[in-house]
Structure 1
């Protein structure tokens, strides 16, 4: 089974880290990056995650060389810690874990933009209307994705603090080489490797034709509930490809929305900085990620 796993939350650079590590000759990373195996029971009802059998999962690592360490990753493993950690520990109690985390307010803002381009009015509440950010960040799943302290505590208790490495989003953006070396030492491979920059993936697209989007969404509301799942997904992807662009209009939080979200996450952030012995005071103020482009 696997020797290490990368987790985190959506929009915390887990995909980028996985793509870099996958280049290392001593690392065998699963393809796809997110097989969702340990979360498959929790996600079984979601279209994105058809349940994978153990034999199917093990086949992902069939070509691993004897000298390589095997790994996979998922943005679902962190906020589903209470269900995922025991399953992982049953397979490998010495599993090495890497969790990428980000200012939870900035993470939620980035995810909000991403979700609107992908799902439009069918964001978490499924209400068939654009979802206000204040409502989005309070959706149970969305909130838990940024409630890092609660879920990391489960992994610390299950695997021990030394087996869990926490990587901040700003570490990746500002000190990529050192961060990758730190991860390699954590999982027991040579930290010296010359990585090439991988192709960009998961780029968020932003609204480009606002009036057309509103008209499209009104029409979509009439037919969406009656369509087969595959056709629903195809329509949403077509909507994104035609009406959104990388250089479109990003949704920026108002001062009130930002302050409200900061207050919401404050207890978790204060607990986390004690747990990992890192200064996260900038997550509690209006200081924003200077290097973030999402």
Structure 2
């Protein structure tokens, strides 16, 4: 029997739109060997410690706060003291790898300050095919009255947020701070194709029962993509200037039927300009090659630009 690794706190840091809701709700919140301190129900003390770090890394100076390592460490120790003996503390917050906290993809501040506050820890990182991630992000933002045509949405973000998914660059500061042996990088596509194997890999890495983890992830898929019907409805709402949803205008019995219809049917699909896709794939290609080679990840199998 393989001995369990020593208990270290676990930080699941990202990336967003890469199955985080499913991992947090189905695995971290329900596994009996895990003390879940992050999403979906954050421990307020642990959250305060991590928020102090994140806010000190904000890319916008007027929103940035002074980093107070002693205060953050004291809060983190308080949160760790509340964890039952034998349980692995897991703090999941995919915002820790979001654009708002980084000046460039290789910005070290977040990883350096997490290490300074948390100390030794295990780092879980889930990556996703960049074009698919951006498609999912667009559909998340295009709901209801927020709808924007794809080309307009891309144009507003192309030189900023959509250039942050250089996974090899972004993960290096975490590896250098916490040690390669304490970092795992898993493709989101494995969650889609083999959720039990995906879960077992993470559970084995963090030191909890992988069989129980695999059971918890069976047939789990949360935060599903909006339907094509809802996307069309959102486009119509925006074009008509209807900023109040239909749910506020009709009785509940009718609203429920309408919502059921709008949420049903095929998943929404988005068509980005071919030229933009080619440019974006070229932008990420070399970084993906390095990630695949260094971590022996089957990115080619999943269609990543290489």
Tell me if structure 2 keeps the 8 A contact 1:31–1:60. Answer: no
The alpha-carbon deviation at position 73 of structure 1 amounts to 1.4
**1:6/1:136 CA distance change after superposition, 3 Å:** farther
> How many correspondences in the alignment?
255
CA separation of 1:212 and 1:180: change in aligned 2, threshold 3 A: closer
Aligned to 1:208: 232
Note the 1:1-294 alignment, pairs <5 A: 3-19=9-25, 20-33=27-40, 35=47, 37=51, 38-43=53-58, 54=72, 64-79=83-98, 80=102, 82-117=108-143, 120=146, 132=152, 134-135=154-155, 138-144=158-164, 146-193=165-212, 194-195=215-216, 201-205=222-226, 206-209=230-233, 210-216=235-241, 245=263, 247=265, 249-281=268-300, 282-284=303-305
1:78 Cα deviation after fit: 2.8
Tell me the secondary structure at the aligned position of residue 216 of structure 2: coil
Pair 119,105 (structure 1): closer, same or farther in 2 beyond 3 Å: farther
**TM-align CA RMSD:** 3.8
Instruction: Name the CA shift for 1:113/1:4 in 2 (closer, same or farther; >3 Å).
Output: same
1:136 deviation in Å?
5.2
Tell me if the contact between 2:168 and 2:290 (Cα under 8 Å) persists in the aligned partners. Answer: yes
259-268 or 196-205: bigger deviation: 196-205
Higher helix share: 2
In the TM superposition, residue 101 of structure 1 has moved relative to its aligned partner by: 0.3
Counterpart CA distance in 2 for 1:63 and 1:161 is 28
Give unpaired runs (5+ residues) of structure 1. 124-128, 221-240, 286-294
Q: Give 1:133 shift.
A: 5.2
User: 1:84 & 1:249 partners in 2: Cα distance?
Assistant: 34
1:109 to 1:246, Cα distance in 2 relative to 1, 3 A = farther
Instruction: After TM superposition, give the deviation of residue 105 of structure 1 in Å.
Output: 1.2
Residue aligning to 1:232: none
Which 10-residue stretch deviates more, 164-173 or 257-266?
257-266
- d(CA) in 1 for partners of 2:8 and 2:60? 25
Q: In structure 2, do the counterparts of structure 1 residues 277 and 196 end up closer, same or farther at CA, with 3 Å as the change threshold?
A: closer
Q: Contact between 1:273 and 1:279, CA under 8 Å: does it hold in 2?
A: yes
TM-score by length of 2: 0.69
CA contact (8 A) 1:78 1:148 kept: no
Quote the Cα distance in structure 1 between the aligned partners of 2:78 and 2:87: 16
Paired position in structure 2 for 1:238: none
Structure 2 residue runs without a partner (length 5+):
1-6, 245-258
CA distance in 2 between partners of 1:72 and 1:61 (Å): 11
